[in-house]
Amino acid sequence: MTTDRRWVALALIPAAAGVFGASVSWAGSHDPLAAAAPTTVAAPLRTLDPARIAQEQQMADLAAQVEATRLRIVELQAVLAAQTANAQVPAAPSPQQAAPAPAPAPKVQAVTGASG
């Protein structure tokens, strides 16, 4: 009889352990003093499209080219304005410098004039 009682006691150990574990777990989850655990919501993963990246890079490159061209135009306009101003205001000839000779008449094959 003693042996039988021993085997029953051994069999009840896992059951008791299970009840205990469940009790502890229940108590833990129902402890009013326990601090509320922060709730974090995982942000969705940002998926980057490689084609879009390439397109954005291309747009940036083109914008840079446009800006460089605009600056070049401004430079050329300044040069043109300077040249125009120089052409309209001929330099005063120095006293030693003779006026430029007018272009000679081109070679002619005939002359129309008085006859007879």
**Interface with another protein (CB under 8 A):** 102-103, 105-116
What tokens were used for 40?
């974090």
Shortest distance in whole angstroms from residue 90 CB to another protein: 15
Shortest distance in whole angstroms from residue 95 CB to another protein: 19
- CB closer to another protein, 42 vs 105: 105
Cα distances from 28 to residues 17, 21, 35, 36, in angstroms, run 16, 11, 11, 12
- CB closer to another protein, 10 vs 99: 99
**Sign of the CA dihedral running 80, 84, 85, 91:** positive
Residue indicated by tokens 């922060």: 38
- CB closer to another protein, 11 vs 105: 105
- CB closer to another protein, 50 vs 104: 104
Shortest distance in whole angstroms from residue 79 CB to another protein: 31
CB–CB of 28/34 below 8 Å? yes
Shortest distance in whole angstroms from residue 98 CB to another protein: 12
Cα–Cα distance for residue pair 116/113, rounded to 1 Å: 10
